[in-house]
Amino acid sequence: MAANRRRDSAPELRLRSALHRHGLRFRVDFPIAVPSRRPIRPDIAFTRARVAVFLDGCFWHGCPEHGSVPKANTSYWLPKIARNRDRDREADRLLAAAGWLVVRIWEHESLEDAITLVMEGLAERSSPHLNGRRTAST
């Protein structure tokens, strides 16, 4: 498990690169303070819009479509994946309570679908100012 990185996985790098090409600017692995817990670190954070994006791996987060049950050491892996899912739900709840919108994307989703989900989240949180510039409607 030491080879598994907390950040900069290949799917995450592809998504960040595509979002950057769309002109979006964001923070990576940004710690968000929440009460009575260690900071939550979304993969991508749009701090002004308060949108937190998590790119979840199918194995590690128990994807209902692609998650697989390990053949070896299931007594370890099944509770581990269940804890990951519980931690994800708790992080979603805490971030929502702190005023953040959480966008969760499975690693198997297409890049276009992932970008659409992020853009929809940002549009939901849009204000008259986008990156310090006025939009055409204001």
Domain boundaries, the chain: 57-104+116-127
pLDDT tens per residue, the chain (138 residues)? 555 667 878 899 999 999 999 999 999 999 999 988 899 999 999 999 999 999 999 888 888 888 778 888 899 999 999 999 999 999 999 999 999 999 999 999 999 999 999 999 999 988 544 444 433 433
As a three-state string, the secondary structure of the chain is CCCCCCCCCHHHHHHHHHHHHCCCCCEECCCECCCCCCCECCCEEECCCCEEEEEECCCCCCCCCCCCCCCCCHHHHHHHHHHHHHHHHHHHHHHHHCCCEEEEEECCCCHHHHHHHHHHHHHHCCCCEECCEECCCC
